[in-house]
Structure 1
């Protein structure tokens, strides 16, 4: 009998040890009883503990409300269960901040999205009050059905150095590589509902909130996470990007691989390179009248091109492809299809052309950027971070088929060399150029339109 008791106690001790250490060392962020270790920031939405849950209630005429941990975290595995009433938008902040000198203490930082809308971006990653969408689930459409409307949903979040990964109900949703690693708090959001009385009093519920702080060994099993990877590393490629065939189109420090569109060398004025940013300088607002456009020395046929750009107020520029620098040797820009870069609010060109086909993200003077054509459940035609913030252009060319993406959202799609294409060209400013846009290959161009615009993270994958 004593021997059996000894074995029982040994097994019990081992199980206790395993529970404390072997089960991932997860610690409760919420004790199930009260809000010890948490604090409310920004808005007026109430948070309370009922039946082992944290419940946040939406209120009218309040900014976003956050229940934040008093402790900050850097590298961790965060898990929680979440359920919310119909019609609400919410999320959980990670590595976030609230500083008096940043918008009077407004909470900002990465947020793991939670929503029950038909847009289907639960598990995506948004940068609250700072950088905008970093990983909308249009990057991973297979995960849009992971969230179960009206039910408890299990979220898992891994943050390690500049890697952020998410799962919803064990389905991989987001795989983000950020510019840098940050340390910050975890926070539960009750989103602003404005004056919408129909959403007043609705509930968001959280339970089973645990966290494990991790090191490189803990992260190792997740390195090859299945969701498509999206990277914002400055002028660098991740190992996965290299394996997938991506190459830097600009190295971040030199002019290698580029020349003036009408020169055999890089322009000696009008462009600068500093701190990993390639910048076209402010001049007279004229088209290619200062340093002039720059183009890749190499020509490209089928590819995925990504370019991060930052506008100044009222600026105009563009990314062109299928450029033939032998055309238009006179004044003005070289000829090619153009992903328009424009401050739609302050530049007059936004109101010219036809039905907005000269606005940001559009195929300039031909097709208007409109994400609602491809996802009718978006709340807006396109997501724009505004001037003085970075935006991401993505251009996909596969034979005759071409698409433009702005900040991860498809906004333009067309097919070249068709009757419809030629009809569009005939009604545009390009009608005087024979066979416009029908070349099999061409240079890639960054435009000098006399306004200051910055570029970085210029990379390409040939198909």
Structure 2
């Protein structure tokens, strides 16, 4: 038992060192919510619990301050983001990025783009095109669906550099598009965001874990600025 524990510690240390060598920095330390706050607030809602190295939106602990979307304290421009997620049955969440945090905007999705996190079979959004896990929400449908069954961990990546956006789910590139050009404007014009002022126009912004009112877990969140 001791030998197994030591082997696990060594493997974790090697993984952490490997990520550090590649230039990735943790956005979540696995122990605290340091570096995060609820959108347009100063603290973190009580529903976001750090449990066993994960950020868990635990509805059982949702007090009067609720949960709310967690956003990074820092803004990012070009970046490579990695994170793992899993959802409870019938759950909906999302990783939202290029968010402008300002009281004039009511929510993270008022300005930010979203890589969908979803129980495709159990949540009603799964029946809507461009609303399924891995999609660039309401804009670009995934080229395939390598999502794992509910309750299992998925690994996702978002790479944005010089307007070129790539979304990766479980090692498979599922979305490639270009931001902010004429084609992007056409995509937005054909989406639910068509009349939303300033939506999808910010080239730097914060990153959020969405509270959609459903149970979700995130871990191994790390970023490299490009």
Superposition deviation, residue 444 in structure 1: 0.4
Residues 128-207 of structure 1: pairs in structure 2 closer than 5 A: none
**2:135 corresponds to:** 362
Q: 1:417 aligns with which of 180, 186, 192?
A: 180
Residues 216-255 of structure 1: pairs in structure 2 closer than 5 A: 233=12, 237-255=15-33
| Alpha-carbon distance between aligned partners in 2 of 1:311 and 1:430, rounded to the nearest angstrom | 26
Larger RCO (CA under 8 A, 6+ residues apart): 2
| Alpha-carbon distance between aligned partners in 2 of 1:338 and 1:327, rounded to the nearest angstrom | 20
| Alpha-carbon distance between aligned partners in 2 of 1:459 and 1:363, rounded to the nearest angstrom | 20
**2:156 corresponds to:** 393
**1:441 corresponds to:** 204
Q: 1:314 aligns with which of 79, 90, 94?
A: 90
What TM-score do the two structures reach when normalised by structure 2?
A: 0.88
**2:111 corresponds to:** 335
What TM-score do the two structures reach when normalised by structure 1?
A: 0.44
Change (3 A) 1:323 1:237: farther
Query: Which ranges of structure 1 fall in alignment gaps of 5 or more residues?
Result: 1-73, 75-160, 163-178, 182-232, 284-288, 371-380
Count matched residues: 218
The one-character-per-residue Cα deviations of 1:10-60 (angstroms, maximum 9, x if unpaired) are: xxxxxxxxxxxxxxxxxxxxxxxxxxxxxxxxxxxxxxxxxxxxxxxxxxx
Q: Is the 8 A contact 2:69 2:108 kept in 1?
A: no
| Alpha-carbon distance between aligned partners in 1 of 2:224 and 2:107, rounded to the nearest angstrom | 32
- The answer on 1:325 being equivalent to 2:101 is yes
Change (3 A) 1:455 1:409: same
The one-character-per-residue Cα deviations of 1:101-156 (angstroms, maximum 9, x if unpaired) are: xxxxxxxxxxxxxxxxxxxxxxxxxxxxxxxxxxxxxxxxxxxxxxxxxxxxxxxx
Superposition deviation, residue 430 in structure 1: 1.3
The one-character-per-residue Cα deviations of 1:150-202 (angstroms, maximum 9, x if unpaired) are: xxxxxxxxxxx57xxxxxxxxxxxxxxxx987xxxxxxxxxxxxxxxxxxxxx
Q: Give the match's secondary structure for 1:349.
A: helix
Change (3 A) 1:296 1:362: same
**1:271 corresponds to:** 48
Superposition deviation, residue 443 in structure 1: 0.1
CA RMSD of aligned residues (A): 2.5
The one-character-per-residue Cα deviations of 1:252-274 (angstroms, maximum 9, x if unpaired) are: 1111100111202222x221111
Superposition deviation, residue 409 in structure 1: 0.5
Q: Is the 8 A contact 1:311 1:386 kept in 2?
A: no
The one-character-per-residue Cα deviations of 1:184-221 (angstroms, maximum 9, x if unpaired) are: xxxxxxxxxxxxxxxxxxxxxxxxxxxxxxxxxxxxxx
| Alpha-carbon distance between aligned partners in 1 of 2:39 and 2:101, rounded to the nearest angstrom | 6
Q: Which of these two proteins has the greater Rg computed from alpha carbons?
A: 1
The one-character-per-residue Cα deviations of 1:266-321 (angstroms, maximum 9, x if unpaired) are: 22x221111111111338xxxxx941101000000111101100111110000011
Residues 45-194 of structure 1: pairs in structure 2 closer than 5 A: none
| Alpha-carbon distance between aligned partners in 2 of 1:332 and 1:360, rounded to the nearest angstrom | 19
